[in-house]
Amino acid sequence: MSSEATVGVPADPPRAADGFDAFYRAMAPRLVVLGRAITGSTAVAEEVAQEALFVAHRRWTKVATLDRPDLWVRRVAANRCISIWRRRAVEHRANQRYERSAGTAVPDPAAELGDDALWAEVRRLPQRQAAALTMHYVDQLTTAEIAAVLGCRSSTVQTHLARGRATLAERLSAHEEDPRRG
């Protein structure tokens, strides 16, 4: 089995019994994919993955005893991504207020990423919807596993998935009708 996660292909969760090094090799690429989908930045995603795995290593004696340490480390990474996302939203609103008061244009850093329309729209979703969709479609996690990561019920995850899909369908159809729309 390859040490890299294949996008869209469910993989067996890494086992703590195999040791932290094996856990790290199995989880690092998965956490980067999750972080990239939420934040839109590979660099930020790599940093978040490193931070989450650092915390897991520091607490390995406890984390290794969990039934699913992979879900625990995903939760750490997802929470960190959401914190970064919130900070960016606050900064963006502050920039918009400044732009309105100063009459100057402040560029949106997300516009420079060059991502395709789908992932750009995923990042515009509410944080938990984006995280749920990413974990469901990229990591092939079940609703119960996503619920464990997000700290909510499976029914809440199903709601996040349904609302996220509906919003994406609406926004992406608008992109097809007018590709200049952003």
**pLDDT (tens digit, 9 = 90+) per residue, 71-102?**
999 999 999 988 887 777 667 677 777 676 76
Residue 45: pLDDT band with limits 50, 70, 90: very high
Tell whether the model's pLDDT for residue 7 goes beyond 70: no
Rounded to whole angstroms, how far apart are CA atoms 62 and 67? Answer: 11
Tell whether the model's pLDDT for residue 64 goes beyond 90: yes
Closest among 163, 154, 122, 156 to 34, alpha carbons compared: 122
**pLDDT (tens digit, 9 = 90+) per residue, 158-182?**
999 999 999 988 887 776 665 555 4
Tell whether the model's pLDDT for residue 103 goes beyond 70: no
Quickly list H helices, 20-151: 20-39, 42-58, 60-63, 69-102, 117-124, 127-137, 143-150
In order of start, what are the domains of the chain with their CATH numbers?
Answer: 16-177 (1.20.140.160)
Residue 115: pLDDT band with limits 50, 70, 90: low
pLDDT given at position 174:
73
Mean pLDDT of 130-157: 90
Give 154's contacts (C-beta < 8 A, 6+ positions apart): 143, 144, 146, 147
pLDDT given at position 102:
67
Q: Mean pLDDT across the chain, nearest whole number?
A: 81
Tell whether the model's pLDDT for residue 147 goes beyond 90: yes
